Structure 1
């Protein structure tokens, strides 16, 4: 597996070919997920090099489907994985593992393996971070551009429901982010209450 060449390839495509309207799902999000997945894997005791490479590759490709579609981007990402990664020395069983990792990030998340739990937690790490507000706003802008969300009060209610239904899967993410996520949820509930009164 030539991970360096594979990651260079997809990150270049994400930088140059993603729609500018993807204010949340841009290359910055992919890089954030990659960095977080690496940190979580280390904290979770993942030391097997092949497993780490598969996790990192999946992080790089997890939103690559946005190059061609918005709905069902995970499936499109898997098509891309199967198309291009053999050229970087990835074997069929490695492609399937990468696709399982990508599909686990689909909302609602349903990770089955330790690596899938790590990638799912990396993908939504921001929910419990100090930079939650600007990142959430970038998603609001993206969805508003697509006509999926109309205004801030509606968006705040969507976020409350999303945070209520979300869970972190790894002990590390729970330790790092759960308290922060609960603070965000409490603040959003206060906003929604004020908007409905």
Structure 2
């Protein structure tokens, strides 16, 4: 099933308005899928739950094809429609939708599976990709949310986000948190230039 989900979501993300998004595009979705695979292997998550998470990862941003604000609800609707056509049982669909729902900012996962998708979705804040990805997000907000800020405001926003964010899984708390703390120090260093 993962192959048909991947093909469907890739097509949707590359043929809809998602294709024009600097951040929430097919590249981001593929990264989240890879992050899910990585976390599931590292945390020894069973095959069934890994499948739930992979399906949720593929669908989690497909709602951007319909709307920017509240895209998660659209993503759940798209996932439900597709999975019902594939004769997937209700319990599986409910788990997928619970995971997608949890990726709303601020993240509020209510299950262990949802915690994994949340950490996979925000994985980049724990590594050097963060600085590239946040440039793309800034551009996306400028174009699609009419949210223009100065460089100083942007760095302050990022610092606040990093400091408020909490990884949910044990792996996130033990491993990813270290990289996030390094990025906090880097953003603080950038902000020092503005104090000169």
TM-score range, shorter chain: over 0.9
For the 8 Å contact 2:52–2:96, the answer to whether it is kept is: yes
For the 8 Å contact 1:10–1:60, the answer to whether it is kept is: yes
For the 8 Å contact 1:6–1:88, the answer to whether it is kept is: no
For the 8 Å contact 1:5–1:88, the answer to whether it is kept is: no
Q: CA deviation at 1:196?
A: 4.6
With the length of structure 1 as denominator, give the TM-score of the two structures. Answer: 0.93
Are 2:45 and 1:46 equivalent residues in the alignment? yes
- For structure 1, the 5+ residue unaligned runs are none
Bigger relative CO (Cα 8 Å, ≥ 6 apart): 1
Structure 2 Cα separation of the partners of residues 104 and 20 of structure 1? 24
What residue in structure 2 maps to residue 179 of structure 1?
A: 178
1:114 aligned to which of 105, 112, 115: 112
Residues 101-121 of structure 1: per-residue CA shift (max 9 Å, x gap): 000111111112221111000
For the 8 Å contact 2:13–2:19, the answer to whether it is kept is: no
Structure 2 Cα separation of the partners of residues 96 and 20 of structure 1? 28
Q: CA deviation at 1:180?
A: 1.4
Structure 1 Cα separation of the partners of residues 2 and 50 of structure 2? 10
Change over 3 Å in CA distance of 1:26–1:155 after alignment to 2:
same
What residue in structure 1 maps to residue 101 of structure 2?
A: 103
For the 8 Å contact 1:101–1:115, the answer to whether it is kept is: yes
For the 8 Å contact 2:18–2:26, the answer to whether it is kept is: no
Structure 1 Cα separation of the partners of residues 66 and 110 of structure 2? 27
For the 8 Å contact 1:18–1:26, the answer to whether it is kept is: no
Change over 3 Å in CA distance of 1:171–1:135 after alignment to 2:
same
What residue in structure 2 maps to residue 135 of structure 1?
A: 133
Are 2:170 and 1:165 equivalent residues in the alignment? no
Residues 30-71 of structure 1: per-residue CA shift (max 9 Å, x gap): 000000011101111112x22111110000001111011110
With the length of structure 2 as denominator, give the TM-score of the two structures. Answer: 0.93
Instruction: State the 4+ residue runs in structure 1 displaced beyond 6 angstroms.
Output: none
Residues 119-155 of structure 1: per-residue CA shift (max 9 Å, x gap): 0000000001122111111111111223213222111
Residues 81-90 or 36-45, more deviating: 81-90
- For structure 2, the 5+ residue unaligned runs are none
For the 8 Å contact 1:21–1:145, the answer to whether it is kept is: no
Structure 2 Cα separation of the partners of residues 56 and 76 of structure 1? 18
